[in-house]
Amino acid sequence: MGNFTFYETRIKDVYIIDVKTYGDNRGYFMETYKESDFKEAGLDYNFVQDNQSSSRKGVLRGLHFQKTHPQAKLVRVLKGEVFDVAVDLRKDSPTYGQWVGVVLSEENKRQFMIPRGFAHGFVVMSDYAEFAYKCDELYHPEDEGGIMWNDPAIGIEWPEVGEIILSEKDKVHPSLKDSKIVF
């Protein structure tokens, strides 16, 4: 499909996307999104907001979702390297409570497509990382939700990065079992 190769993960509707890059002695060029190619792959999203963050090594952001305004996200790394995770929160899904993760970096230029109904988070593996993502729903601060990044019932195998640095919000998220979220 043109400049994208779409790989479905072991969790239905979650994709790892390799992007074709064109480079020479001047640098490189790549398309990061093309609506027609994504639709042809069955990924029909209407992205309405782009976000970007920067973090230092050990920063773990997540696991986040919006409760009544869920967001699909197309995520990628501009600088550095992160381990990115999606946790299935769809109650009727055969993979409810399971996770899938991928290393995203400026070198591999991979993207991760996370549909609505998932918690999302990442940890920075490099000294510094810049992270960008598209969302198909606007951000609503009053609608934020989250689950514990280290919930043993989910069992995410985070890479070793030294000290984990969390926001105050992320330190107090409930376990999946104690969460009242239903997608």
Residues tagged active-site? 64, 133
Taking residue 172's Cβ as centre, other Cβ atoms within 10 Å add up to 10
Find, among 145, 149, 133, 144, the residue nearest to 61 by Cα: 149
The answer to whether residues 123 and 60 touch, using CB atoms and an 8 Å cutoff, is: yes
The whole-angstrom distance between residue 129's C-alpha and the CA centroid of its chain comes to: 14
Query: Rounded distance, CA 72 to CA 89, Å?
Result: 13
